[in-house]
Homo-oligomer: A and B are copies of this chain.
Amino acid sequence: MTSDDSPNAPVRTVRADVRRNRARLIAAAREMFQRDGAGASLEGVARLAGVGIGTLYRHFPTRQDLLEALLADAYGELAERARELAESPSPGDALLEWLRAFVSGITAFPGMAAAAVVSLGGERGEASRPLREAAAVLFDRAGESGAVPPGTALGDVLRLAGGIATVTERDPEAADRLLSLAAAGMIPGAAAAPR
């Protein structure tokens, strides 16, 4: 729950007040984003954190950087869940169950899922590395057991789940339905190739 264990926690050589400012900014951002969505006023975040707006920009040059600091915590929990589920005797079911947790975990506030899609697909994408590595184990087991169609890429599965999360962020029941639909297939027998 605290952000000190997250992958982008400060290294130990930094000044105490710097580390404290960073933690306060993250806590304030979580509160503001949960209330107003990912577009919440950054000035408001700085005010709530009790620091100047310049300090916010020093720590997080872009809004996406701030969002990724929050995502990193969610990713940590989801990576842990993936490791647990990788032991399941039914890898296909386990993958689907994890995808439900993934969608749920990246929809804590409006706009979070869109930021997740950026962080998962981006070139830098440092924040999502642990998530992708843990998910890969689960995904590979599902593939070996034949639960996933040959040639399917994990990146596409995550992006598809991210898309579902993006359009259902206010409606968890719809998220479940769309995920079931995409898992089972909307048109299972159709010719896959376009044109």
Contact = CB atoms under 8 A, between A and B. Distances in A.
Contacts of A174: 156, 159
A189 B147 contact: yes
A93 B192 CA distance: 8
A184 interface: yes
Interface string A58-83: 00000000000000000000000000
Contact of A182 (B93, B148, B167, B182): B182
B178 A187 contact: no
A191 interface: yes
B186 A183 contact: yes
Interface of A: 92-93, 95-97, 99-100, 114, 117, 142, 147-149, 152-153, 156-157, 159-160, 162-164, 166-168, 174, 176-178, 180-194
Contacts of A159: 167-168, 174, 178
Main secondary structure of the interface of A (DSSP, over half): helix
Nearest to A145: B189
Contact of A186 (B152, B167, B168): B152
Contacts of A188: 147, 149, 183-185, 188
B168 A182 contact: no
Contact of A166 (B152, B166, B183): B166
A148 to B, nearest CB: 6
Given A96-B187, A148-B187, A190-B95, A181 B167 contact: no
A189 B147 CA distance: 6
Contacts of A96: 187, 190-191
A187 B142 contact: yes
A156 B152 CA distance: 23
B192 A184 contact: yes
A152 B187 CA distance: 10
